[in-house]
Amino acid sequence: SARTQEVVHYGQTATVEVATRAVDSAAATFRTYKRTPVHERRRMLLRAADLFEQKVVEMGEMQMRETSCDEAWARFTAMQTSTFCREVAGAVSAALVGDIQPSYFGYTHLVFKEPVGPVLLIPPWNAAVVLSVRGVANALAAGCTVVLKASELCPATHQLVARTFHEAGFPPGAVNVIMADRPHAALVTETVIAHPALRKIEFIGSAAVGKAIGTLAAKHLKPVFMELGDQSPAIVLDDADLEEAARLIAHGSMFHHGQVCFSTERIIVQRAVQDEFCRLLSAAIDRLAPAWMAVTRSHAERAKATVDDAVNRGAQFVYGSSELKGPAQLAPSILVGVNRDSLMSCGEAFAPTAFLVAVDTEEEAVNEANSRLGGLSAAVFTRSHERGLRLARELEFGMVQVNNSTIFAEPSGPATNFKGSGWGSNNGKYGIENFLYCKAVSL
């Protein structure tokens, strides 16, 4: 625990043999589960949603123990689990609708949506319950079975998720959980990916690990869905409601110690309102509850090193500092003058920090926003819907929020990963479609 610096509990790392048996179990169950009627899958998903709703306190406390997140984040993500389950249950029929295509040769040309088969899900620790629940629900709705590779930073939380799906009535072998410590993770993961019965991978995590997973997937010719990190920008135009923009950007930057894959890390402000916005942003951060803690001390130390590197290269604090408060809590900060070659500018900080860039024109704002590798979420603040929509169409991101936080996402989707933030869409029917393929049948 980052909060107490004490061992919470111990987990058993999987061996190659255990990993193989997990895929074997998923494959055996898939042979019968894929024929489960859609209305029965929906019934079990809705039952799972009810159970997750009943377990909000338990899930929240488990996340707090394992990942040292604060109660607000733990409760928010725990409450979202039932929302996502119900959304998936409501979308499953639409996702599975097939088609009848015209035939050049006079046949009846049918198109079926079929489950891809056993899948590997690798959810992260930072939103442990909601992202694992979303992935498992999508796969089960499609008719797939799951090998869930639990994070070594929250194995009990991910075990609780799998257990709840089985309590909802999904058959033994529908969700199989393995966990690997760091020294064994690469071997265990490749064992699962290389298994002939494994059909697809969903990975949510850092770009560095995503590249390694993508390399393994390519080696074994397995398709992969990825949701990676971002340096999500918020653009503040000169006609924006500056107080509301400051409130939402402060929250988007600092919530959960900045450990959200689409936290606001870049703030692009038109120069005419820069000074007033900075004043309001500082006041908004002051009103926030403390940013709590990083998941481990080493995560906090890496975040501090990122901020210190920016300062050493000439950046200045508009707000805060790089002080470590306690074993794993970094002070919140906003910087200006961040060098383009600094760690903060080149990659995701994953910390309660952001940097500000002043621009004169809309075109400069869009170019600055699009200048990084990521493309997950962006925000535009303006009183003009026409202006906001015009910029949204130019921004190279899977999601664009107009007058909302970069960390906002609709459960009905699509939450689309673009550029260096991965590929594929999630939420609602779009998440279910990740685990389906189109089969053409001519009669």
Report yes or no: 264 and 381 within 8 Å, Cβ to Cβ.
no
Q: Which of 85, 144, 154, 261 is catalytic?
A: 261
SS3 content of the chain, % helix, strand, coil (to 5): 45, 20, 35
Catalytic site includes residue 438? no
Q: Is 171 helix (H, G, I), strand (E, B) or coil?
A: coil
According to DSSP, the residues that pair with 225 across neighbouring strands are: 202
Six-digit token pair at 150?
Answer: 């639990």
Which stretches of 39-195 are assigned E, i.e. beta strand?
99-101, 109-115, 119-122, 146-150, 175-179
Q: How far apart are CA 52 and CA 92, in angstroms?
A: 19
Which is it for the CA torsion 292, 297, 301, 303, positive or negative?
A: negative
Q: How far apart are CA 273 and CA 236, in angstroms?
A: 9
Whose CA is closest to 138, among 421, 399, 418, 414?
Answer: 414
Give residues with Cβ within 8 angstroms of 302, minimum separation 6.
none
According to DSSP, the residues that pair with 291 across neighbouring strands are: none
Whose CA is closest to 201, among 185, 186, 220?
Answer: 220
Give residues with Cβ within 8 angstroms of 203, minimum separation 6.
122, 209, 210, 213, 224, 225, 226, 227
Catalytic site includes residue 227? yes
Give residues with Cβ within 8 angstroms of 75, minimum separation 6.
56, 60
Whose CA is closest to 206, among 160, 151, 253, 136?
Answer: 151
Q: Is 295 helix (H, G, I), strand (E, B) or coil?
A: coil
- Burial-class residue 66 by CB neighbours within 10 Å (0-12, 13-18, 19+): buried
- Burial-class residue 94 by CB neighbours within 10 Å (0-12, 13-18, 19+): exposed
- Residues constituting the chain: 443
Cβ atoms within 10 A of the Cβ of 223, count? 14
Report yes or no: 386 and 242 within 8 Å, Cβ to Cβ.
no
Six-digit token pair at 401?
Answer: 């929020």
Six-digit token pair at 126?
Answer: 């930072």
Q: Which of 66, 87, 227, 433 is catalytic?
A: 227
Q: Looking at the annotation, which residues are catalytic?
A: 227, 261
